[in-house]
Amino acid sequence: MSHPRVTGPQATLPPAGLPGLDPSLSRLVSVEGVLDDRGASRLWHVLDTGGTLAEHGVEPLGTIIAVHGNPTWSYLWRALVTASLDRALDGRAAWRVVAVDQLEMGFSERSSLRRTLAQRIADLDALVSELGIRGPVVTIGHDWGGPVSLGWAVENRERVAAVIALNTAVHHPDGAELPFALRVATARGMLAAGTTGTTAFLDVTLALADLDPAVRAAFRAPYATVARRRGIGGFVADIPATPDHVSTPALHRMSAGLRELEVPALLLRGPKDPVFGEDHLDDLTERLPHADVHRFEGAGHLIAEERPYADVVLDWLDEKIVDAATAPARSRRSSPTKRAGTGTGTAPAGRLWDALDARRDDDDTAVIDMTTASGDGGPLRVSWRQLAARVDEIAAGLDAFGVRAGDRVSLLVQPGPTLTAALYACLRIGAVVVVADRGLGIRGLSRAVRGAVPDVVIGEVAGLAAARALGWPGRRISSASLPAATSRALGVEASLSDLARAGRGRTLPEPPAADAEAAVLFTSGSTGPAKGVVYTHAQVTALRDTLATHFAVSADTGLVTGFAPFALLGPALGTRSATPDMDVSAPRTLTAAAVAAAVRASDAKIVFLSPAAVANVVATADRLTDADRSALARVQTFLSTGAPVGVDLLRRAQALMPNAVAHTPYGMTECLLVADVTLPEIEAAAGDRGVCVGRPLGTGEVRISPLDDRGRAADETTTDAGVTGEVVISAPHLKRGYFRLHLTDRDARRGLPARWHRTGDVGHLDAEGRLWVEGRLPHVITTAEGPVTPVGVEQDVETVSAVVRAAAVGVGPVGRQVVVAVVESAVRRPGLASPELTDAVRAATAQSLAAVLAVPSLPTDIRHNSKIDRSRVAAWAERVLAGEKASAL
């Protein structure tokens, strides 16, 4: 049947002067209609770089077909169009980019036809054929352009080199509601009025990003009239929200076909998207388990307008297509994604729970809970026999509950026997534990948990209430038995006790392989948004072995752990452990008396504390009794890790444990133990700039990536003494990668062999091979004389008696910054320091200081309470020196 061309708005070229759009790249293409549009000829508007490349004699490697969603148009891809041309004309890898205006949208033709998903895929195929595009083809889609572009890729997989998607969805579960924004848009009586009769849908979408007014006007340009907006309404009407929707079969074919799409895939996500949530990304990664994924924290639905995605895309294509063409063939790389299963690697030499298994018939104490009283009034004690049985029961119960290998389980439980049992149970069946503590703050914790998309949340009442209120995904399990009404209100399906009863006598599944994922541990958020760090079973087992060997941990050692990352390793090390009576997520709640009580209860020889906890322990030492001091005198090893610790504070802490050797291990969430140094070694090494953190532990290695004049770290590395640069590390217990942060992963490995990591710290090695940390890479001050690291200057300034703490920051443009000292002192109002304090500070350091500012208190990170937020201090100092009123920091 022939379909005549309808009258109404036809295709046209965009108006001149739209910001960022080269009008010479616009063209109109006539294409014969297909499927229900067969017999008609339709006019498309596209942005096409092919002609420009041909004029310059550049032969492209292939074609990137860019498909917009609703209610945008090809203008969305202008950055990709421009960046690809610039690179091609600069002699780099050349890609032709064809950014389409889908029919009924942008400046393409309008018709009376209702364009379904199947129709749009066929339309795109007809356009590709008309343009003579053969391959290789890379598809990129956003919003509802995702299913269209991916649908084309599934049907033309032999021509596809890679697929890329930005904030989209490819599956809608039967019976599930649409996101709220789409429920409103599709509601009876709202669809026509909100999408076509008015500009409401368009306005709301454009308001999702902070757009320049001229850019906002450019997006609105094709949709000035009701007739030109009918495509917006048609696109919304075509959302396959029910099983009987006309586009549901095409969506199902496409989403099922993705499982067989073997080409490289890149998924870019703005998490602040009210339409496409983390569950949509999780579904995509399940269908494309080899995909590289990156979440741009802070970005939303219009990610292409909020982040430099174009360079990301082209760099990724260089790596996956251009570089891969000259590299030896290799199998698909496994990414940190859900459903990792039990892995395919060989079993580790030892498993994390081996020591627990070995002591399962032992009635000696394994874990002590100082916050819970037992029947005799003392702290609750759990034996090895009880702990091993509880782990087995909960593990089997989780399996009965439907938790499978690779499922992610978020643990929102305070350290103690309950958390210990739940964690080892999850690991035993191959579930991936997700750990993000409350020290991130409610917003940071919510971002971390939602970003990890857990299948199950195990929590105490406070955590479960937050999960309910903030809409976190996952089935709910309570750590304690709750009243039926409370369970219903919190959406709890079972308690750990329920699972333990269900698991008694049940056979456990096969344990996970060494290379299976074990945990996602979130960073502190002190150096940017918290990042999920992925560890395999082999890596956490290597951490256990490194710790046990270096600190000579035996069954009789005993641990007191006031530092969350190490609070759960006691059973793995085969020694009893106790967590002091404190809020582990708020280290400053720990007192000296609480440490003494935990040491006395556990007869511990090793004490682990965070720097903030050490500070409060020292501050509350006057409350210790003779019995407390006697208990602390039995400690043999004292460790403070998580942030640099001043020598004076270490000395005061060791005075409370006079027979202990004080250690300050250096590490990070990505590699919890990198190097170690003792207090006597620090004192003997005094004189260098920075904080001495010692030599690498075990078989670990440390190298330095030198800084250039603009404070950037080089690709090459060195072990030469005295060279300042980024600290680069390797160890058997180094993380595998970041969770859904492909760009962060790539940056951390830039220029390095496998199993090496750029820490973001700056420092140097001395002639004895010891590492000295001088600050963070983003805080390097780039003066006209060269880069200046902050820690050495701060150490000088803190020798002034009136200074409590100091921050050295840079003010001014990169390469011409000046050094400013901001000191914490006894002042009532922030601002310029007094002449006397300024003179004293300048006299204390050889570094030239442009100004000295004084504040009542310097801001620190929310988790460690010890790392100064230099970025915040620098921004404040710049405002003050620019003449703004000195507000509180």
The verdict on residue 798 lying in a domain is yes
275 lies in the same domain as 343: no
Cα–Cα dist 455/586, whole Å: 27
Would you state the pLDDT for residue 378?
A: 85
- Among 138, 131, 69, 135, smallest CA distance to 106 is for 69
CATH number at residue 801: 3.30.300.30
408 shares a domain with 308: no
CATH code (residue 47): 3.40.50.1820
- Give the model's pLDDT for residue 611: 83
For residue 9, CA distances in Å to 109, 119, 229, 522, 578 come to 7, 20, 10, 52, 74
Contact 599, 592 (CB under 8 A): no
Domain-embedded: residue 237: no
Q: What does the angle CA 420 – CA 671 – CA 746 come to, to the nearest 5 degrees?
A: 125
Tell me: do 758 and 804 sit in the same domain: no
Tally of CA atoms within 13 A in the half-sphere of 128 that contains its CB = 28
- Is there a contact between 405 and 394 (Cβ–Cβ < 8 Å)? no
pLDDT, tens digit (0-9, with 9 covering 90-100), for 656-669: 999 999 999 999 99
List the end-to-end C-alpha distance of the chain, in Å, as a whole number.
72
Q: Which of 627, 622, 618 is nearest to 590 (CA)?
A: 618
Q: Which amino acid is at 281?
A: L
Amino acid at 359: R
What is the phi/psi pair of residue 141, to 5°? -140, 155
- What pLDDT shows up at residue 628? 96
Q: Please state the length of the chain.
A: 889
Report the candidate in 542, 545, 522, 572 with the shortest Cα–Cα distance to residue 734. Answer: 542
Ranges of the chain with pLDDT below 50: 1-8, 329-348, 862-865
Q: What residue numbers bound the domain in which 727 lies?
A: 679-739+750-776
Residue 228 in domain: no
Last residue of a domain, which of 527, 550, 573? Answer: 550
Q: Which of 499, 352, 333 is nearest to 433 (CA)?
A: 352
Do 687 and 821 lie in one domain? The reply is no
Measured in whole angstroms, the distance separating CA 879 from the mean position of its chain's CA atoms is 30
**Residue 180 within any structural domain of the chain:** no
pLDDT of residue 179: 62
- So what's the pLDDT on residue 840? 97
Pairing of strands 786-788, 577-579: unpaired
> What is the H or E stretch that residue 141 is in?
strand 137-142
164 close to 266: Cβ distance less than 8 angstroms: yes
Judge whether 100 and 46 are in contact, CB under 8 Å: yes
Do 402 and 536 belong to one domain?
A: yes
Q: What is the DSSP letter of 817?
A: -
Residues 793 and 763 in one domain: no
Q: In the prediction, which pLDDT does 242 show?
A: 81
pTM of the model: 0.86
* Cα-to-chain-centroid distance, residue 876: 27
Q: What is the pLDDT of residues 47-72, one digit of tens each?
A: 999 999 999 999 999 999 999 999 99
Residues 401 and 493: their CA atoms lie apart, in Å, by 10
CA 695 centroid distance within chain = 29
Q: How many CB atoms lie within 10 A of CB 30?
A: 11
Q: What is the pLDDT of residue 881?
A: 94
Answer yes or no: is 727 within a domain. yes
Mind listing the pLDDT tens digit for each residue in 115-160? 999 999 999 999 999 999 988 999 999 999 999 999 999 999 999 9
In a domain, 801, yes or no: yes
- CATH of residue 707's domain is 2.30.38.10
Residue 280 vs residues 138, 170, 289, 305, 743: alpha-carbon distances, Å: 22, 8, 14, 21, 20
Torsion 468-473-474-479 (CA) sign: negative
Distance between CA 600 and CA 378 in Å, rounded? 12
Query: Domain check: are 428 and 451 in the same one?
Result: yes
Please give the tally of structural domains in the chain.
4
Last residue of a domain, one of 531, 550, 569: 550
Of 550, 565, 588, the domain-final residue:
550
CB contact at 8 A, 153 and 160: yes
pLDDT value for 345: 43
In a domain, 606, yes or no: no
Same structural domain for residues 273 and 401? no
Residues 407 and 495 in one domain: yes
> Does the residue 386 lie in any domain?
yes
Which residues are within 8 A (CB) of 75 and not within 5 positions of it... i.e. 6 or more apart? 14, 18, 21, 106, 218, 219
Dihedral Cα 555, 561, 564, 567, nearest 10 deg:
20
Nearest to 264 by CA among 306, 307, 327: 327
How many other CB atoms are there within 10 angstroms of residue 374's CB atom? 12
343 and 313 part of one domain? no
Please check whether residues 283 and 406 belong to one and the same domain: no
Do 373 and 286 reside in the same domain of the chain?
A: no
Enclosing H/E stretch for 18: none
Q: Which amino acid is at 60?
A: P
SS3 assignment, position 672: strand
